[in-house]
Amino acid sequence: MSEANSGGDRSSRRPKRFLSPSQKYEIWLQLVRQEVTIAEAAVNHQVDRTTIMRIRTVAKEGALAALAASKPGTAARQRDSQLEAAKMENARLSEALKEMAVRLTLIEGKGRWG
């Protein structure tokens, strides 16, 4: 089999073209709005049709994943276990201090006041 028939001739292939995320998004929007077909988008942006099909697939998968991860209402804050432990310790020490103040008042009596 000759090299021309085996598909190894790279001179007939167009060079790789990298699209920016914004370009990919615009292509996807055009496809969703049915402004262009896959073939037209490929010709307009000088890429292969499989590239356009891949953009469409990735956008769909990404949108589905984002929608599945989203929850209605406000996002619940993750609990900070150290903060909760510190608040509990603060409350415990506050109660102990109040109890000590009452005991001290009872032990010293009213002698200091008058």
Question: pTM of this prediction?
Answer: 0.51
Please state, in angstroms and rounded to a whole number, the distance separating the CA atoms of residues 66 and 88: 37
Question: Contact at 8 Å (CB) between 42 and 48?
Answer: yes
Q: Has residue 53 got a pLDDT over 90?
A: yes
pLDDT-above-70 percentage for the chain: 77
CA 39 → CA 27, 36, 53, 102, 103, distances in Å? 12, 8, 10, 85, 87
pLDDT in tens, 54-105: 999 999 999 888 888 887 765 556 667 888 899 999 999 999 999 998 888 8
The two structure tokens encoding residue 75: 């996002």
